[in-house]
């Protein structure tokens, strides 16, 4: 559903851009507030004016994904 996708993108964007650069770079599905997203995590990194965002499930390691973004 396009409306749901747009709402998710807007919510995640607001959450990520409002966080301090020195803060945690991982959000959980509960933070997003979307049903059936409890097993998802958002890993992000802010470099200059760019945001790199990955949505992962419980099978992936948050630290490995942060490392992937930085490489």
Q: Look up the domain containing 30 and give its range.
A: 2-70
The pTM of the full predicted model, rounded to 2 decimals, is 0.80
27-to-7, 8, 12, 60, 68 alpha-carbon distances in Å? 17, 13, 9, 14, 17
Q: Which helix (H) or strand (E) holds 42?
A: strand 41-47
The arithmetic mean of pLDDT across residues 25-47, rounded, is 83
Q: Which pLDDT band holds residue 28 (cuts at 50, 70, 90)?
A: confident
Q: CATH number for the domain including 46?
A: 3.30.450.60
Rounded to 5 degrees, φ, ψ at 59 are -75, -20
Total number of domains in the chain: 1
The model's confidence at residue 1, banded by pLDDT at 50, 70 and 90, is: confident
| Cβ contact 56:62 at 8 Å | yes
The neighbour count for residue 55, using CB atoms within 10 Å, is 17
């Amino acid at each position: 559903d396009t409306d749901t996708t747009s709402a998710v993108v807007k919510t995640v964007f607001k959450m990520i851009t409002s966080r301090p650069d020195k803060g945690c770079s991982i959000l959980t599905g509960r933070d997003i507030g979307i049903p059936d997203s409890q097993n998802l995590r958002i890993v992000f990194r802010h470099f200059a004016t760019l945001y790199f965002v990955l949505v992962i499930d419980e099978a992936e390691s948050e630290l490995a994904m942060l490392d992937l973004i930085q490489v």
